[in-house]
């Protein structure tokens, strides 16, 4: 079964490129442009395994969206894709299992690590092998 | 001020009493009489004393002349006899071998002497194992006969000479006392001379003198009636006397042995009057003995022998004999001389009082006694004296009396008349000529006329005087008023005036102002005296005052005006014990010879003035200190730009001290200011302060320094000019530059943080798009092949097309540039982050090693140059501490520096081995890291901008222009350290980092 990926990014180019790459990797990708939209999508169509979340978003920000989505579907795993300089992971996100290696900083000149991480997480069924 | 205590009370001038003896006449009589008396007494005295002495001397001279004549006669005989004896001795020495011939020759010699009546015989004595004695005797018929040798020790007259001669040196003869020859009955005196053979006394040659032969000589020695003479031997027994004397003596003595010569004792017994004569002779002997005693020591055996050899053998003749034997007596004793003198009350021969004189005959030690009647010596003198006295008295007295009488008639009479007239004269007119008498001398008449004229003149003068006295009274009144004025001034002036007598050291005057100035009244000061007043001078000023006084005294007076009068200021303890400052003008008053008489001083209390002066001085010093303590250069100039103030900092900066600078134009002394000279003058002219900031000047070491120059014009109190203040602000400028740098970086950081997201998003789009394009044109992706076939082509064709058209390279270019842009953003972001969470203690040398390994494998570096070609010098100091730092950041800085160094070296091909030196050492609370290369270095402009963000010397695309500024930021901001660079074009560069060992502290 193809992994289902939700990409949340307000930058159309970025989400399109990432989506294209992941689709080429054989994944089923849905893209949305805001946190609210992501919540709506997940409410209407649950069953996403991985969500790639931008942190700076119009409306609610990435972190709030993550908590909202996590509340609705605790099995949903997140990757963070951010352009914020010096981003460091808050404790709240660590509490749901996120680690710095799950943060990808913009700009990414190579998207292969993202696909790899997704596959590993799906194989593990969590953020790390211990989960 | 000391009053004259010697006010003499003049006794009222009594009218001298007119006593009769006070009159001119009586005085004249009295004085004439006294004069006459003195004259007579004087003449008598002179005659009695010096005159008598003169007369006596003339008598003495007569006696002496006669005596010397007699002595000379006697001496001649002595000398002739001695000469004969010496001749015999020489002959005996010469003819020692031929005895017969010797005797013959001696016989001839003696005969000749006897015939000439010099001697009366002789003898030859030869000493030896068998001593022999030959004697020649004059027989009564006048012939000479030689007696056969007597046995040794036989009496040749007597042997007195035998012993003496043994001690005599050659050339000295010995005279014996007289002996009577048993054979001929003649009284003989022996004169013996020693004979020497081979340096030893071998005998004696003897000549005899007949005492009687001298009697005849004495008989005619003096004219008849003028005295007679005796010759005494050394024992004072008479040798010879005039025949009439000996006859008289013989009669008188009536001696049984008429042949024997009378002895001294006989003579005195016969004529006791001779006693003093022999006493005098004995005294002479005593004198000689006294002198002989000095040589007695060591010759006592001889003395004893001689004493024994004399038959009557008393001690004294023995000593005399020794004196002769040794001939030790001085020339004086041996000279012919009047040795004694005495008087004989009634001479038995002259039958009158006589004078006896004793003379000495040298060599034989005889004495000639001359007896002369006293009348012959003294009487003529007395007669002459009396005659002179009477004559003198007459010659002096008669003119005196005549003068007296004449004086009385011609002088005293008219004078007495005139004085009587004068005494009776009233103020009415009179004539002194009246009653003068006809015989008045011309001089007195002239005198009287003069008196008359004088009286008239006096009357006129009297009137004139009266007028003058009135004027003088008026003048004195004026003077008194003037003096009162002066006194008033003196008493009321605030200055203390005084006069000190330099002879008595007493104050003549002290003005009442003393009370106000010193607290002492004038009287109290006077009582204190010069000494105590001087003691109250402040100890520190005493030397000054005394020096000043000595200079004043020493000054010549005509030297210079200031020398005799000058000012001195000193402290003086007043009555309350407080010191007051006195300013004193001192003048030395001198007498005509220039000797100092008095010290006149006027002393003023200048305590207030001094205090304000001191306050002013203190204030001046205070201000001076403030000005000198300023770290700024402060230069005061007048309106012409001449330096009037020059503080220490100015001296330090220019290297010229104030003495050198003051009085010179400021732009000449402070050449750095020459450029702002116009501004200085503008400021002075306009009165507006003027600032000139960041004025770049090269200092003495050739370093560029920034200065702020501020010119304040001086306007107050007519002081024109300006104060120039120069501050070296180089340090501040450098700090400001640094702050600007940091601020720039911070703003870059802030900007980057804001921008990063916005730039990263499109960059992400670009980069991801590129990756997607590459992937979707890749034959490896199965979906690509499917889509290509759907599109009616093959993926291989698409790929080939893309490759042929270089699209892939373009895509690589896009990716590379995107990555570069992403790096720039990431570097910029470094300026904003300040997390210290990664701080941990690290060893810097370990870090350097890590970085060196990294650099050796660095891809960028490898591309352009071979890092291994560069020699790395490591200079790691001992005891390097661990430094608390962000390891990654510091490694980033070090790598940056090392890469920069390598790039710099690579820029230039040089002959020198490329070299990077890394030096680490502890520096107090810091660790100092230096990275130096021997590359081309940089110019000043580059050096100053090297930490500026985006400043780069590398070609476009090689560097971001942020490496060094990021390093600077990491060191200074994140680690609170310091970073600097030293470099010059062509001299390599040296980056210096100072990291605190613990940045938290």
Res. B3: pLDDT tops 50: no
Q: Tally the C-alpha atoms within 13 A of residue A42's C-alpha that lie toward its C-beta.
A: 27
pLDDT for B336 equals: 54
B983 lies in some domain = yes
- To which H or E segment does residue B756 belong? helix B730-776
Q: Would the pTM of this model clear 0.80, i.e. be above it?
A: no
Q: What percent of chain B is modeled with pLDDT above 70?
A: 79
- To which H or E segment does residue B489 belong? helix B442-492
B795 lies in some domain = yes
Which of B:738-757 have CB within 8 Å of A? 752-753, 756-757
CA B308 centroid distance within chain: 76
The DSSP code sequence of A65-104 is: HHHHHHHH-TT-EEEEEE--TT----HHHHHTT--GGGEE
Answer yes or no: do B670 and B757 share one domain.
no
CA distance A29 to chain B (A): 15
For A56-94, the pLDDT digits (tens) are 888 899 999 999 999 999 999 999 998 876 678 888 888
Distance CA B713, CA B723 (A): 6
Average the pLDDT over B754-782 and give the result: 86
List the domain boundaries for chain A. Answer: 4-124
Which is more confident, B313 or B176?
A: B176
Answer yes or no: do B973 and B864 share one domain.
yes
Report DSSP state, residue B17: P
pLDDT for B901 equals: 86
Average the pLDDT over B443-471 and give the result: 84
Contact state of A20 with B760 under an 8 Å Cβ cutoff: no
CATH number of residue B877's parent domain = 3.30.565.10
Among the candidates B708, B728, B748, a domain finishes at B728
Q: Which two tokens stand for residue B746?
A: 């911070």
Answer yes or no: do B746 and B697 share one domain.
no
Answer yes or no: do B706 and B741 share one domain.
no
Average the pLDDT over B612-617 and give the result: 89
pLDDT for B74 equals: 83
Q: Are A110 and A81 in contact (CB under 8 A)?
A: no
B49 lies in some domain = no
Contact state of B763 with A107 under an 8 Å Cβ cutoff: yes
Q: Which two tokens stand for residue B280?
A: 């005098």
Report DSSP state, residue B537: B
The β-bridge relationship of strands B721-728 and A50-53 is unpaired
Contact state of A21 with B768 under an 8 Å Cβ cutoff: yes
Other CB atoms within 10 A of residue A96 CB: 13
Average the pLDDT over B370-387 and give the result: 72
Cross-strand bridge partners of residue B573: B579
Instruction: Please provide the average confidence, as pLDDT, over all residues in chain B.
Output: 78
Average the pLDDT over B249-277 and give the result: 69
Q: Are B324 and B174 in contact (CB under 8 A)?
A: yes
Distance CA B828, CA B818 (A): 15
Nearest-CA residue of chain B relative to A20? B772
- Please give the interface size between A and B, counted as residue pairs whose CB atoms are below 8 Å apart: 84
Q: Are B196 and B202 in contact (CB under 8 A)?
A: yes
* Dihedral Cα B280, B283, B284, B287, nearest 10 deg: -160
Among the candidates B377, B399, B425, a domain finishes at B377
Q: Which two tokens stand for residue B633?
A: 């250069």
Which is more confident, B389 or B427?
A: B389
Which is more confident, B826 or A56?
A: A56
Q: Which two tokens stand for residue B223?
A: 């004219």
| Cβ within 8 Å of residue B828, ≥6 positions away | B748, B749, B751, B752, B755, B756, B962
Answer yes or no: do B704 and B750 share one domain.
no
The CA-CA-CA angle for residues B150, B152, B156, to 5°, reads 55
Residue appearing with tokens 């499917």: B786
Distance CA B328, CA B288 (A): 11
Res. B257: pLDDT tops 60: no
Pick from B769, B775, B826: which is nearest to A13 by CB? B769
Cross-strand bridge partners of residue B926: B923, B996
Res. B729: pLDDT tops 70: yes
Answer yes or no: do B785 and B921 share one domain.
no
Q: Which two tokens stand for residue B602?
A: 């006027």
Nearest-CA residue of chain A relative to B776? A24
Average the pLDDT over B912-917 and give the result: 85
Average the pLDDT over B93-113 and give the result: 84
Chain A residues in contact with B813 by the CB 8 A cut-off are: none
* Dihedral Cα B677, B680, B681, B684, nearest 10 deg: -170
pLDDT-based confidence at residue A51 (cuts at 50, 70, 90): very high
Contact state of A111 with B822 under an 8 Å Cβ cutoff: no
Contact state of B769 with A107 under an 8 Å Cβ cutoff: no
pLDDT for B561 equals: 45
Other CB atoms within 10 A of residue B26 CB: 13
pLDDT for B930 equals: 92
Q: Tally the C-alpha atoms within 13 A of residue B886's C-alpha that lie toward its C-beta.
A: 20
pLDDT for B924 equals: 86
Pick from B757, B775, B819: which is nearest to A84 by CB? B757
pLDDT for B447 equals: 77
For B712-721, the pLDDT digits (tens) are 888 766 667 8
For B393-425, the pLDDT digits (tens) are 788 778 888 888 888 777 777 777 777 766 665
Answer yes or no: do B904 and B933 share one domain.
yes
B387 lies in some domain = no
User: Could you tell me the sign of the dihedral formed by the alpha carbons of A81, A87, A88, A89, in that order?
Assistant: negative
Q: Are B59 and B377 in contact (CB under 8 A)?
A: yes
Nearest-CA residue of chain B relative to A56? B757
B971 lies in some domain = yes
Average the pLDDT over B794-804 and give the result: 90
- What is the rounded end-to-end Cα distance, in angstroms, of chain B? 86
Distance CA B631, CA B654 (A): 14
Q: Three-state SS for B832?
A: coil
Q: Are B697 and B729 in contact (CB under 8 A)?
A: no
Nearest-CA residue of chain B relative to A112? B771
| Cβ within 8 Å of residue B982, ≥6 positions away | B989, B990, B992
Which is more confident, B166 or B991?
A: B991
The DSSP code sequence of B101-141 is: HHHHHHHHHHHHHHHTTS-SEEEEEE-SSS-EEEEEEE-TT
B771 touches chain A (CB under 8 A): yes
Nearest-CA residue of chain B relative to A55? B757
Distance CA A55, CA A103 (A): 10
Q: Are B521 and B509 in contact (CB under 8 A)?
A: no
Distance CA B192, CA B164 (A): 9
Q: Three-state SS for B635?
A: strand
User: Could you tell me the sign of the dihedral formed by the alpha carbons of B798, B799, B804, B808, in that order?
Assistant: positive
Average the pLDDT over B154-166 and give the result: 68
Q: Are A21 and A104 in contact (CB under 8 A)?
A: no
pLDDT for B405 equals: 83
B787 touches chain A (CB under 8 A): no
Question: Any idea which of B8-17, B215-224, B862-871, B974-983 has the lowest mean pLDDT?
Answer: B8-17
CA nearest neighbour of B918 among B902, B906, B903: B902
Answer yes or no: do B739 and B850 share one domain.
no
Res. B931: pLDDT tops 70: yes
Chain A residues in contact with B781 by the CB 8 A cut-off are: 24
Answer yes or no: do B911 and B954 share one domain.
yes
Residue appearing with tokens 């009085």: B663
Q: Are B574 and B518 in contact (CB under 8 A)?
A: yes
Where do runs of H (alpha helix) occur along B572-713? Answer: 607-629, 648-654, 658-661, 666-669, 677-686
pLDDT-based confidence at residue A22 (cuts at 50, 70, 90): very high
For B55-99, the pLDDT digits (tens) are 666 667 777 778 888 888 888 888 888 888 888 888 888 887 788
Q: Which two tokens stand for residue B25?
A: 């006449």
Q: What percent of chain B is modeled with pLDDT above 90?
A: 5
Other CB atoms within 10 A of residue B134 CB: 21
pLDDT for B11 equals: 42
CA nearest neighbour of B153 among B184, B131, B120: B131
B763 touches chain A (CB under 8 A): yes
pLDDT-based confidence at residue B302 (cuts at 50, 70, 90): low
Which is more confident, B358 or B149?
A: B358
Res. B316: pLDDT tops 60: no
Distance CA B885, CA A27 (A): 45
pLDDT for B864 equals: 65
pLDDT for A48 equals: 92
pLDDT for B7 equals: 41
pLDDT for A116 equals: 92
pLDDT-based confidence at residue B750 (cuts at 50, 70, 90): low
List residues in chain A touching B: CB distance below 8 A.
11, 13-14, 17-18, 20-21, 24, 56, 83-86, 105-111
Distance CA A28, CA A50 (A): 10
B825 touches chain A (CB under 8 A): yes
pLDDT for B427 equals: 46
Distance CA B893, CA B947 (A): 12
B765 touches chain A (CB under 8 A): yes
Range(s) of the domain holding residue B674: 630-728
For B498-535, the pLDDT digits (tens) are 889 988 888 888 888 888 888 888 888 888 888 888 88
Distance CA B378, CA B375 (A): 5
* Dihedral Cα B479, B485, B487, B489, nearest 10 deg: -150
B406 lies in some domain = no
Which is more confident, A94 or B912?
A: A94
Edge-to-edge strand list for the sheet holding B704-714: B643-646, B633-638, B721-728, B704-714, B690-698
The β-bridge relationship of strands B144-150 and B238-240 is unpaired
Q: Are B646 and B630 in contact (CB under 8 A)?
A: no
Res. B42: pLDDT tops 50: yes
Q: Are B879 and B921 in contact (CB under 8 A)?
A: no
Question: At residue B566, what are phi and psi to the nearest 5 degrees?
Answer: -155, 170
B9 lies in some domain = no
Chain B residues in contact with A84 by the CB 8 A cut-off are: 756-757
What are the Cα distances from residue B283, in Å, to A20, B290, B485, B706, B735?
181, 10, 96, 126, 131
CA distance A41 to chain B (A): 24
Distance CA B687, CA B235 (A): 136
Among the candidates B802, B833, B864, a domain finishes at B833
Pick from B756, B770, B835: which is nearest to A85 by CB? B756
**What's the structural domain count of chain B?**
5
Res. A8: pLDDT tops 90: yes
Distance CA B873, CA B871 (A): 6
Answer yes or no: do B272 and B357 share one domain.
yes
The β-bridge relationship of strands A77-82 and A50-53 is parallel
Answer yes or no: do B814 and B844 share one domain.
no
Which is more confident, B872 or B295?
A: B872
B776 touches chain A (CB under 8 A): yes
Residue appearing with tokens 């050394």: B234
- To which H or E segment does residue B781 belong? none
B52 lies in some domain = no
Instruction: State the ipTM, two decimals.
Output: 0.87
Where do runs of H (alpha helix) occur along B271-412? Answer: 275-293, 300-309, 315-326, 331-334, 374-407
Average the pLDDT over A26-53 and give the result: 92
pLDDT-based confidence at residue B311 (cuts at 50, 70, 90): very low
Chain A residues in contact with B811 by the CB 8 A cut-off are: none
Question: At residue B485, what are phi and psi to the nearest 5 degrees?
Answer: -60, -50
Nearest-CA residue of chain A relative to B819? A109
Average the pLDDT over B653-670 and give the result: 84
Distance CA B616, CA B279 (A): 109
pLDDT for B323 equals: 56
Answer yes or no: do B884 and B741 share one domain.
no
CATH class held by domain A4-124: alpha beta
Which is more confident, B661 or B16?
A: B661
């Amino acid at each position: 079964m193809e992994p289902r990926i939700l990409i949340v990014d307000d930058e159309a180019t970025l989400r399109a490129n990432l989506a294209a790459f992941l689709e080429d990797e054989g994944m089923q990708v849905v893209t949305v442009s805001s946190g609210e939209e992501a919540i709506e999508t997940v409410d209407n169509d649950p069953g996403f395994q991985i969500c790639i979340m931008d942190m700076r978003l119009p409306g609610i920000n990435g972190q709030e969206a993550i908590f909202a989505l996590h509340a609705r579907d605790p099995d949903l795993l997140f990757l963070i894709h951010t352009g914020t300089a010096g981003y460091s992971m808050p404790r709240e996100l660590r509490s749901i299992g996120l680690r710095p290696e799950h943060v990808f900083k913009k700009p990414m000149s190579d998207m292969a690590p993202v696909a790899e991480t997704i596959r590993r997480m799906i194989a593990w069924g969590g953020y790390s092998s211990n989960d | 001020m000391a009053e004259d205590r010697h006010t003499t009370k003049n006794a009222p001038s009594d009218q001298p009493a007119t006593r009769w003896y006070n009159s001119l006449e009586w005085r004249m009589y009295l004085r004439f009489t006294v004069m006459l008396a003195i004259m007579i007494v004087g003449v008598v005295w002179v005659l009695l004393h010096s005159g008598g002495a003169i007369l006596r001397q003339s008598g003495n001279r007569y006696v002496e002349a006669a005596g010397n004549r007699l002595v000379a006669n006697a001496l001649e005989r002595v000398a002739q006899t001695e000469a004969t004896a010496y001749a015999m001795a020489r002959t005996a020495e010469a003819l020692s071998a031929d005895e017969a011939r010797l005797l013959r020759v001696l016989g001839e010699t003696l005969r000749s002497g006897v015939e000439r009546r010099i001697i009366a015989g002789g003898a030859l004595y030869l000493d030896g194992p068998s001593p022999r004695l030959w004697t020649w005797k004059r027989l009564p018929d006048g012939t000479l006969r030689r007696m056969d040798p007597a046995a040794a020790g036989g009496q040749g007259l007597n042997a007195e000479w035998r012993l003496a001669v043994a001690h005599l040196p050659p050339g000295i003869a010995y005279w014996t006392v007289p002996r009577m020859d048993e054979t001929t009955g003649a009284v003989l005196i022996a004169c013996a001379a020693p004979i020497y053979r081979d340096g030893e006394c071998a005998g004696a040659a003897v000549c005899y003198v007949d005492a009687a032969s001298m009697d005849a000589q004495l008989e005619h020695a003096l004219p008849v009636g003028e005295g007679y003479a005796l010759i005494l031997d050394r024992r004072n027994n008479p040798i010879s006397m005039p025949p009439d004397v000996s006859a008289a003596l013989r009669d008188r003595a009536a001696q049984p042995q008429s042949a024997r010569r009378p002895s001294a004792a006989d003579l005195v017994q016969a004529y006791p009057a001779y006693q003093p004569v022999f006493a005098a002779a004995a005294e002479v002997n005593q004198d000689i003995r006294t002198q002989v005693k000095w040589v007695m020591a060591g010759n006592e055996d001889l003395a004893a022998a001689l004493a024994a050899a004399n038959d009557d053998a008393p001690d004294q003749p023995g000593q005399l004999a020794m004196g002769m034997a040794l001939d030790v007596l001085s020339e004086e004793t041996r000279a012919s001389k009047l040795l004694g003198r005495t008087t004989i009350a009634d001479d038995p021969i002259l039958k009158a009082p006589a004078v006896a004189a004793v003379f000495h005959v040298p060599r034989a030690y005889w004495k000639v006694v001359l007896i002369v009647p006293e009348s012959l010596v003294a009487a003529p003198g007395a007669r002459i004296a009396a005659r002179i006295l009477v004559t003198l008295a007459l010659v002096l007295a008669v003119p005196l009396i005549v003068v007296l009488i004449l004086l009385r008639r011609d002088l005293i009479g008219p004078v007495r008349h005139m004085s009587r007239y004068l005494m009776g004269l009233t103020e009415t007119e009179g004539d002194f000529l009246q009653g003068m008498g006809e015989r008045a001398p011309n001089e007195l008449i002239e005198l009287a006329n003069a008196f008359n004229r004088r009286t008239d003149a006096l009357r006129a003068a009297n009137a004139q005087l009266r007028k003058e006295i009135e004027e003088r009274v008026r003048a004195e009144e004026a003077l008194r008023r003037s003096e009162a004025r002066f006194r008033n001034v003196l008493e009321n002036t605030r200055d203390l005036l005084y006069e000190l007598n330099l002879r008595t050291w007493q104050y003549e005057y002290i003005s009442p102002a003393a009370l106000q100035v010193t607290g002492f009244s004038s009287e109290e000061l006077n009582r204190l005296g010069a000494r105590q007043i001087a003691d109250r001078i402040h100890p520190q000023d005493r030397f000054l005052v005394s020096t000043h006084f000595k200079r004043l005294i020493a000054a010549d007076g005509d030297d210079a005006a200031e020398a005799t009068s000058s000012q001195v200021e000193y402290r003086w303890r007043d009555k309350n014990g407080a010191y007051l400052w006195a300013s004193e003008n001192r003048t030395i008053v001198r007498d005509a010879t220039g000797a100092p008489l008095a010290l006149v001083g006027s002393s003023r209390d200048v305590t207030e003035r001094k205090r304000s002066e001191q306050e002013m001085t203190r204030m001046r010093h205070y201000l001076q200190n403030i000005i000198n303590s300023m770290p700024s250069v402060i230069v005061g100039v007048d309106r012409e730009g001449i330096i009037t103030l020059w503080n220490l900092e100015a001296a330090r900066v220019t290297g010229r001290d104030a003495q050198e600078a003051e009085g010179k134009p400021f732009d000449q002394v402070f050449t750095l200011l020459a450029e702002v000279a116009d501004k200085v003058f503008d400021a002075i002219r306009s009165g507006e302060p003027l600032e000139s900031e960041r004025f770049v000047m090269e200092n003495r070491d050739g370093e560029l320094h920034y200065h702020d120059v501020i010119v304040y014009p001086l306007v107050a109190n007519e002081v024109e000019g300006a104060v120039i203040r120069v501050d070296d602000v180089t340090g501040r400028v450098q700090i400001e530059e640094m702050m600007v740098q940091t601020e720039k970086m911070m703003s870059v950081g802030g900007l980057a943080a804001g921008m990063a997201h916005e730039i990263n998003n499109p960059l992400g789009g670009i980069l991801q798009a590129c990756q997607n394009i590459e992937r979707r044109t890749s034959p490896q992706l199965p979906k690509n092949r499917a889509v290509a076939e759907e599109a009616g082509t093959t993926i291989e064709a698409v790929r080939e097309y893309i490759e042929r058209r270089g699209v892939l390279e373009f895509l690589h270019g896009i990716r590379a540039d995107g990555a570069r842009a992403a790096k720039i953003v990431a570097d910029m972001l470094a300026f904003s982050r300040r997390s210290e969470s990664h701080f941990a203690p690290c060893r810097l040398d370990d870090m350097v090693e890590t970085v060196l390994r990294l650099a050796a494998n660095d891809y960028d570096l490898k591309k352009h140059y071979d890092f291994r070609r560069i020699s790395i010098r490591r200079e790691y100091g001992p005891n390097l501490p661990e430094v608390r730092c962000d390891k990654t950041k510091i490694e980033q800085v070090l790598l940056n520096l090392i890469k920069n160094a390598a790039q710099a070296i690579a820029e230039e091909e040089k002959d020198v081995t490329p070299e990077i030196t890394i030096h680490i050492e502890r520096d107090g609370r810091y660790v100092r890291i230096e990275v130096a290369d021997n590359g081309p270095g940089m110019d000043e402009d580059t050096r100053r901008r090297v930490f500026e963000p985006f400043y780069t010397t590398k070609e476009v695309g090689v560097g971001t222009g942020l490496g060094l500024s990021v390093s600077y930021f990491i060191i200074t901001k994140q680690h609170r350290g310091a970073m600097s660079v030293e470099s010059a074009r062509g001299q390599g560069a040296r980056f210096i980092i100072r990291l605190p060992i613990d940045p938290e502290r």
